Amino acid sequence: MNEQLDRAYKKVINAWCMYDWGSSAFSTTVEAAVLPVYFENVVAAGLSGNTATVYWGYANSIALFIAAVLAPILGSVADYTGGKKRLLAIFAAIGIVTTTLMVLIDSGDWLLALVLFLIGTVGLSASYVFYDSLLPHVARAEDIDYVSSKGYALGYVGGGILLAINIVMIQFVWAGSTLGPRLSFLTVAVWWAIFTIPLLRRVPEPPPNTACIGEGVNPLVASFRRLGLTFHEIRKYRQLFFFLIAFWLYNDGIGTIIKMATIYGAEINSGMTDLIGALLLTQFVGIPFSLLFGKFSAKIGSKRAIMLGLGWYALITIAAYFMNAPWQFWVLALMVGMVQGGTQALSRSLFGLMAPKARSAEFFGFYDISSKFAGIVGPALFALVGQLTGSSRLGIVALIVFFIGGILLLRRVDEKEGIRVAQLENAATTLPAETA
């Protein structure tokens, strides 16, 4: 019987991780690799100076602002109605359909590209609220670091494989044509859709949580009541929310590096082959290092492992300021791959341990707010500095403030106390059994 339970547990874990495998294709091909370079060199080539870089930064900020506003409201609705999987499916579908329409983007269609990119990013970001909130339900407490790291590792594999296929399409099959990049966006939509199915079929839906609100209340009204209750009880979750402040700071730097790396490289005249190839290197380096971070955290603790990763990021920002050759972009891509997945995976699992299970979507909504507002400030700062100075190098250096500040704040987080509070609430909350 135990062997059967373990087999069923592993199937659920793998199904949950496959959403990372599928949706990461949008992050790699659309957000990080192909679309930024295609936008800079083809779609917005007629814009003057570094206007394309500036517009790209602002589009990222607007998209993430919208996602951040929606996140806690949607998370609270999902907890109250027991609809995490349903809402994940809706927002994933929005992202998938929008990505499919990107096949229409051609030279001069910079406004269409920005609008589709904005909507697709909102769809992906909102879906991650529900995906992340399922983590404490699918993973045992002793496995949560490893499961979160496995999700990121498989995201690197899935996103990396499709990116490699798309590079072949762009560089060899349809070289010199816009058809290669446009078809790569279509492959992302198909890939994302296919690998969302295992989660929807196999991962159990956590039960609804109507505690303190009562049944029969309009879900939107209930969500605002629940949010009000959370803010009223904020002192109870002091360590959790203090962690969110630290996460907001350091994730600002991480998110900006992810989203702005290729367009920054294009601005300093790195070719598309170098830019996309280096990001592909980041993907495949991230696979073993994400898993290693998950195991490493078991020895020194999640918080310390995150802090080591942030120190490494601070060194990366300094090195990026002096970057002026394609080979240097490859080196920096390698350095980023060593810590990117690990720091994000451990942040997610540590937060998951400090968040009460019955309100996981609501609390991951706040986690998503912290993540998205970080994504607003970073790209906006990057764009503003670039607009004022005509160069983005100083914007890269400014990111070190977020990493150092994040380390200093993270040192003050008492994660053991945060986990203890969550465990007490879990023990006090009685919910019906979770169903598929």
Is residue 221 a part of any domain in this protein? no
Total number of domains in the chain: 1
* Model pLDDT for residues 122-157, shown as the tens digit of each residue: 999 999 989 999 999 999 888 899 999 999 899 999
Is residue 116 a part of any domain in this protein? yes
Bridge partner list, 205: 435
Amino acid at 420: R
Closest by alpha carbon to 98, among 84, 112, 87? 112
Q: What is the pLDDT of residue 18?
A: 97
* Residue whose tokens read 């991951």: 364
Is residue 224 a part of any domain in this protein? no
Alpha carbon 406 to its chain centroid, in Å, reads 18
For the residues of 171-188, what is the DSSP string, one character each? IIISTTSSHHHHHHHHHH
Mean local confidence (pLDDT), 191-197: 98
* Model pLDDT for residues 235-277, shown as the tens digit of each residue: 678 898 889 889 988 987 887 777 667 667 766 666 667 777 7
Is residue 164 a part of any domain in this protein? yes
Is residue 312 a part of any domain in this protein? yes
Q: What is the pLDDT of residue 26?
A: 96
| Bigger pLDDT: 359 vs 422 | 422
Mean local confidence (pLDDT), 307-330: 87
* Model pLDDT for residues 16-43, shown as the tens digit of each residue: 999 999 999 999 899 878 898 899 889 9
Instruction: For 145-177, give one letter per residue: b (16+ CB within 10 A) or e.
Output: bbbbbbbbbbbbbbbbbbbbbbbebbeeebeee
CATH of the domain at 240: 1.20.1250.20
* pLDDT interval class at 435 (50, 70, 90): very low
Mean local confidence (pLDDT), 49-55: 83
Please state, in angstroms and as integers, the Cα–Cα distance from residue 255 to each residue in 26, 278, 335, following that order.
Answer: 15, 17, 15
| Paired tokens of 241 | 């929310």
* Model pLDDT for residues 91-121, shown as the tens digit of each residue: 999 999 999 999 999 999 999 999 999 999 9
Cβ distance 28 to 22 under 8 Å?
Answer: no
Closest by alpha carbon to 131, among 97, 91, 94? 91
Is residue 89 a part of any domain in this protein? yes
Q: Which residue segment(s) compose the domain that 143 sits in?
A: 11-199+232-428
* Model pLDDT for residues 168-181, shown as the tens digit of each residue: 998 888 888 899 99
Is residue 215 a part of any domain in this protein? no
Is residue 217 a part of any domain in this protein? no
